[in-house]
Chains A and B, each alone.
Chain A
Amino acid sequence: MSSPEAALWWARSRAEGPLRVPSVTRTPAGMLRLVERDGEHCWLLTRPPDDVTPAMLRELRMQVLPVEFPNETRRVLAAALRCCWTDIQASPWPGQPATMREVLDVVDQLTPGRGEEVLHRFGMGAFRRLNASRWLDIDDDVQRVCLGPRVATWPDQDLPALRELCRELPPPRPDREPDR
């Protein structure tokens, strides 16, 4: 069940975040394997005991490492979820790709009245943070936003609330540049 390799995989995942490896890699003990759409790579995520998440620390009134600009970051993640999680009866990961414009348009509708420049600057910062932490998988070159492997760690218990969130959020407005 436990092995030196598993220990190393876990430690590496802790140091580097979810690991993207070729699909031929054997799944190390206790890790979750998420195969990417193309099937050539998969993500390895650690499965904590009883799938406990950092959210539990709030119950203990303990601090987790703070996120920079938490509200903006959360808003962008929610908007991305709204755009990418098209079939909300299915699991959020991997979802469908969306464009940065669509995601920022949803953000724009949530916080109307902000200038395009501000929206873009905050949005890009949030994209960068979410991409680094693998909540989102962003391809800057083609302005594409996908949900990152971490969304697969959301417990089933939270999914109704997330679905409700998606139902409440406005969809991206088609063929309309955000506040230009």
Chain B
Amino acid sequence: MSGSTPQGEDIVGDRVLVGLQSVRISRLSTHPIPVAAGTLIAVAGQGPKDSNGAGKSSLLAQISLLHADEQWRFGSGAPAAVDLLFNSEDAGGEDRWGNADHGYLIGVFAPAAGTLDQLQACALTVWIRIDRSNQKGPRLKLRWRDGLHLPVGDSEAEREQAADSVWQALPPRAGRQDVAARDLPRTLYGEHVRCVSFLSTSVRASAAPNLLAQPLNEISERRIFEAIAALTGIDTELEKERQARRHEYDRRQEASGAESDLATWEESAQVIEDGIDARDRARELVVEAADRWRSRTARLLCDALQRDADIQVEIAEIDTVINRDIRTAQELARQAAELADDEAFTRRQQAAMSTFGKLDSDDRELGNQIATLEQQIEDIDRLLRAAREAARDADGRNEQAAERERAEADAALEDTVKAVGVAEKALSDAESSLRDAESGRDLAQQQIEILAAEGIGAIGLLDAVVLDEPDRARWEAALWPYREAAVVDSEQLNRASQLLAGIPGSILIAANRASSAPGRLPGSADPEYDVSGFLAALHARTTARSDPDRVYDDAGIVVVGGFSQPATGRATRIAAARERVRQRSTAHEDAVKARNAAGQKVISAERRQKGARAAAEAYQLEGQAGTLRKKDQATRQARGELAPTLSAAQAERDAVLRLAGVRQQQIESLQRQKTTLDNTNKTRREKHGKLEEEQSQLGLPELIVRWDGTPDSASEYLRTLPDNQQSWSADDWWEEAKDLISTAISECFPPTASDTMPMEITGLLEESSQRGPGSSRRAQVAFAPLLRALRVYLRQQEGTDQYERQQIAIQREERHKSLAAARIGHEEAVQASRAYRGALTSAIKKTLADVAAEFDRLDGAYGGYGASLHYEDPPPPADPTEAWGWKVTPMWRRAEGRRHIPYDRRANTAQIDDRAIKLVCAAAAASGTGRPLVLVLDELGRNLGKQHRREAVALLGQIGRDSGITVVGALQDDMETYAIDACGQYVKLRRSSDSSPYNEQPVVVGYDEHAPRVELLRAWLTGNGYREPA
């Protein structure tokens, strides 16, 4: 059966599912569920409230997954399968139970018919394990084993445990790993479609349409074809077409790849070739430039030779002229010398000159003497006049008398001056006494000032006492010894005497002392200073006598009185002082008068003395003047005698000088002529020199070296040049060479790649392209090295260039060849896929015709009026990336005898769903694969009206028997009555409350006419809680 398929592919083959068991899948219990294949299996539910919540959809989803329905998207790992695992939130008990982290779907497959032994031998158990996490690999894992390998247990927990251990015991099938989701359809069914399902969206939200999952009229014609192709197995044929197209595409890519490769390659090769071409051109240019350079050298050499010869001739000519002029000049010089060399004339000239010179100087000397004498005479006359004037003051006295009178007057004056001095002194002493008396400080002045500064009042004693006229004789004498004493208040006596410690000899007299009045005493002048105490004491000590008035002191002292002026009392003492001043002043005036008179006498005597002296001097001067006048006379005479000789000498001198001037002119004329000749020759010599220099600068030897041949060969070379170049100058050749080399450089190094230029060339190029003075010379100097460097560079590149050219040629040929080959390959592939499509078209059409016929038959048999399929040859794809677009349009009659109407016209949904099922069944029936099909229909009676439900259920019940299709349908509550009649098996899933995570054991009622299949499962069912029917 499955022996013919390759290992690990299509392992189920044409076996059918006969039983299934789920572990930790949704809320389904782990009880096995037998499947009566080829019948309608109705799945009903009994939940806590209604039929929902018992897990019908999960059961159907499980069957769909087991049959590898493509809706599960195995290519992406069937991610939605995880939703089948028990989920505590969905079960309403996340606080009581945890989510299942893995679960199992277990399917038992067996041949559709056969004896028990055969069935047992060929049974296959398929395990799909679902893991919630894919941390450790794919979520879906597939294991299988021939025979029955199923968990058995008395309770859910036991069966769960058993499931885990059976799984562990099954071997992984992909080496050490398990077969994963993406290989599941191929492994189990070899990509054959085994299931078409409509699954409730609560389980599986399909993004893509399929015939049952979507209202048929919303599905494209193209999708309908694809679905039919999958069901009938044409898709495997189509797969080959796709491969051919793929091949075609690959070849086309190859061809276009080769083409674009070639284009890119050509592009870069072009750049390289352009570079090589440019360098080749540069090579030619360099050769040409070298030629031009050589022509220039030849031209330079020939030009230089020509010039050299010209210079030679010119020099010879100049030499001749110079020699001639030298001779002329010599003759002129000789003539000039002759003229200058006349000895007789020279002597005459010298004599005349010296004679004249001597006489002239004598004359001048005499003139000077006369002038001097005249000056002297004039001076003496002036002195004489002054002396005579002064002599008039002598008043008739001679010199001796005048001098004696003068001496007498001087002595008289001296005496009067002394008298004035004495009088002045007396006057000033008197004035000073007066000032002292007036200020009261004439007596004890120093002491009174010191005490006053310390705030102690004091006055002189004589100021403190007032004497009446009668008392004067007695008291003035008694008080006189104490005239220098100061009167101080007796209280202050001690302090005052301390203050006066610095003035020894100070006398202090106490005032305001109590007195025992002895009789009449003189009064005190100032009441603050009462000196009566002192006076009383003094009175007692002294005794007055008269003639002369005097006083005897008890100590034996006698003081003589008789003062003309009162000695005491301030006013009297001032008056006395004034009188003295007046007397002295009078004396002084008299002395001054006497001195003035003496002064006058001295002046007169002096004037007379001077007059007498002047008279003597005048006499002496008169004598001197006479002598000088005589001397002047004599000198004037001598000069007059010299005059005739002098004028003769002058005439001789003038004659000689004129003759000498004529001679000098002649000589100068000759000399000028000679100088002109000399100058001309000098210019000629300069030119000579320049020519010689030019000759040497022609650089003939160097040019010859550069030419590297004989001078003749150079001119020969030039002669062989084309006519139009014969006349080219060296500069013309240079310009040419320069242009060529710069073109060569820009060929080698285009501006886009100028940075690849070798350093040497860059440097030289820079040098030769510099502007400024001498630029052309520098350029020419740099030319030869530049040429050489460029040649070297080009020679270095030559080998590479040749090699690259070869390589490019070889590669170009190869690439063109491979492009041609790729194009041929592409063309062949196009042909092949076209041929393949041609062959396939008829096969497809035949299959479609079969399906159409079956569709028509089924429609007719189950409540319709006949149906058909419309399809056409699709045009071949314009591009291999386009699919070969077959389209199928299902059509059916809407009423008896009417024409076929396309499926997508407006119709009631029940009709459409009905046709969809019929179409699926027709395709399955017309299938050439021989593989049984399962239809999974959640909501069996979806959209069906009552009439249609009955027919639909009848169709589904019948179709299994006709074509071996198993239909699994979930029943809505109101469908049970229709279904139970038609179905071959009835499954009721039961769940009485949400308090337990899993369902209760389901109720399964069914009849399988293939008894061995029932027998096969017996042990499994009875081992898991089912009872044998009574």
Contacts and interface: CB of A to CB of B under 8 A. Distances in A.
- Complex contact flag A–B (Cβ < 8 Å): yes
Interface of A: 50, 52, 55-56, 58-61, 157, 160-161, 163-164, 167
Contact of A163 (B78, B89, B134, B181): B89
B137 interface: yes
Interface stretch (B80-88, B697-705, B1002-1010): B80-88
Nearest to B101: A161
Contacts of A167: 94
A160 B99 contact: yes
A142 to B, nearest CB: 33
Sort A-B residue pairs by CB-CB distance and give the 4 closest, nearest first.
A59-B77, A58-B134, A59-B138, A160-B89
Contacts of B207: 50
B186 to A, nearest CB: 14
B79 interface: yes
B720 interface: no
B15 interface: no
Given A157-B83, A160-B87, A59 B181 contact: yes
A58 B82 contact: no
A60 B80 CA distance: 16
Contact of B138 (A50, A58, A157, A160): A58
Interface in B121-171: 132-135, 137-140
Contact of B182 (A50, A59, A160, A164): A59
Contacts of B76: 50, 52, 56, 59
Contacts of B8: none
A67 B122 CA distance: 48
B98 interface: yes
B465 interface: no
Q: Interface on chain B toward A: helix, strand, loop, or mixed SS?
A: loop
Nearest to B98: A164
The bracket for how many chain B residues form the interface is 20 to 34
B18 interface: no
B180 interface: yes
B139 A59 contact: yes
B94 A56 contact: no
B77 A161 contact: no
Contact of B77 (A58, A157, A163, A164): A58
Contacts of A52: 76
A50 B177 CA distance: 28
B99 A157 contact: no
Interface in B85-115: 87-89, 94, 98-99
A161 B137 contact: no
Contacts of B82: 157
B94 A161 contact: no
A139 B522 CA distance: 127
B98 A56 contact: no
Interface in B927-951: none
A108 to B, nearest CB: 23
Contacts of B99: 160-161, 164
Interface string B261-303: 0000000000000000000000000000000000000000000
Given A55-B134, A160-B87, A60 B94 contact: no
Given A56-B76, A59-B181, A164 B83 contact: no
A163 B135 CA distance: 17
Contacts of B80: 157
Contacts of B79: 56, 59, 157
Given A61-B138, A164-B98, 14 more contacts: A50-B207, A55-B134, A56-B79, A58-B77, A59-B78, A59-B134, A59-B182, A61-B137, A61-B177, A61-B180, A157-B79, A157-B82, A160-B89, A161-B133
B465 to A, nearest CB: 117
B94 A164 contact: yes
A56 B182 CA distance: 11
Contacts of B98: 164
Contacts of A55: 134
A75 to B, nearest CB: 13
A17 B82 CA distance: 29
A24 B76 CA distance: 37
A58 B132 contact: no
A59 B83 contact: no
B1022 to A, nearest CB: 36
A81 B1018 CA distance: 50
B789 to A, nearest CB: 50
Contacts of B182: 59-60
B87 A58 contact: no
Specify which of A59, A60, A61 lies most central, judged by the most chain B CB atoms within 10 Å of its CB.
A59
